[in-house]
Amino acid sequence: MSPDTNAERQRRWYARQKAGTPWQPIACQACGGNSSGTHGELCVRCWERLTPEGRAAKAERVRQSRARRRVAGQT
Protein backbone atom coordinates (compact mmCIF):
# COMPACT_ATOMS: atom_id res chain seq x y z
CA MET A 1 0.00 0.00 0.00
CA SER A 2 1.34 3.42 -0.88
CA PRO A 3 1.73 6.09 1.80
CA ASP A 4 -1.16 8.46 2.30
CA THR A 5 -0.74 11.96 0.98
CA ASN A 6 -1.11 14.94 3.27
CA ALA A 7 -4.39 15.81 1.52
CA GLU A 8 -5.81 12.33 2.17
CA ARG A 9 -4.91 12.53 5.86
CA GLN A 10 -6.45 15.99 6.11
CA ARG A 11 -9.68 14.81 4.47
CA ARG A 12 -9.94 11.96 6.98
CA TRP A 13 -9.20 14.36 9.84
CA TYR A 14 -11.89 16.83 8.75
CA ALA A 15 -14.40 14.01 8.22
CA ARG A 16 -13.72 12.74 11.76
CA GLN A 17 -14.06 16.25 13.17
CA LYS A 18 -17.33 16.78 11.33
CA ALA A 19 -18.75 13.44 12.49
CA GLY A 20 -17.40 13.84 16.03
CA THR A 21 -15.60 10.50 15.93
CA PRO A 22 -12.34 10.12 17.84
CA TRP A 23 -8.99 9.55 16.17
CA GLN A 24 -8.35 5.89 15.42
CA PRO A 25 -4.69 4.98 15.02
CA ILE A 26 -3.72 2.61 12.25
CA ALA A 27 -1.97 -0.50 13.55
CA CYS A 28 1.52 -1.02 12.12
CA GLN A 29 1.63 -4.18 10.01
CA ALA A 30 5.10 -5.11 11.28
CA CYS A 31 5.03 -4.43 15.02
CA GLY A 32 1.40 -3.66 15.86
CA GLY A 33 2.24 -0.19 17.16
CA ASN A 34 0.42 3.00 16.23
CA SER A 35 0.85 4.43 12.75
CA SER A 36 -0.43 7.75 11.45
CA GLY A 37 -0.57 6.54 7.85
CA THR A 38 2.30 8.74 6.74
CA HIS A 39 4.30 5.71 5.64
CA GLY A 40 1.46 3.48 4.56
CA GLU A 41 0.62 0.82 7.12
CA LEU A 42 4.02 0.94 8.83
CA CYS A 43 5.02 3.08 11.79
CA VAL A 44 8.01 5.39 11.34
CA ARG A 45 10.44 3.06 13.11
CA CYS A 46 9.46 0.01 11.04
CA TRP A 47 9.44 2.07 7.83
CA GLU A 48 13.02 3.19 8.54
CA ARG A 49 14.08 -0.36 9.37
CA LEU A 50 12.25 -2.40 6.72
CA THR A 51 12.09 -0.34 3.53
CA PRO A 52 14.93 0.77 1.25
CA GLU A 53 13.49 4.32 1.17
CA GLY A 54 13.39 4.44 4.97
CA ARG A 55 16.95 3.15 5.33
CA ALA A 56 18.15 5.72 2.79
CA ALA A 57 16.31 8.55 4.57
CA LYS A 58 17.78 7.55 7.93
CA ALA A 59 21.29 7.23 6.48
CA GLU A 60 20.99 10.72 4.98
CA ARG A 61 19.89 12.19 8.34
CA VAL A 62 22.84 10.49 10.06
CA ARG A 63 25.25 11.86 7.42
CA GLN A 64 23.89 15.38 7.87
CA SER A 65 24.04 15.13 11.66
CA ARG A 66 27.65 13.92 11.62
CA ALA A 67 28.62 16.67 9.19
CA ARG A 68 27.06 19.31 11.48
CA ARG A 69 28.92 17.89 14.47
CA ARG A 70 32.20 17.88 12.53
CA VAL A 71 31.73 21.53 11.57
CA ALA A 72 30.74 22.49 15.13
CA GLY A 73 33.81 20.71 16.52
CA GLN A 74 36.16 22.64 14.21
CA THR A 75 34.91 26.04 15.33
Instruction: Give residue 3's pLDDT.
Output: 63
* Of the candidates 35, 16, 17, the residue with the CA atom closest to the CA atom of residue 25: 35
The pLDDT tens digits for 5-54 are 888 888 888 888 888 767 677 899 999 988 877 888 899 999 999 999 99
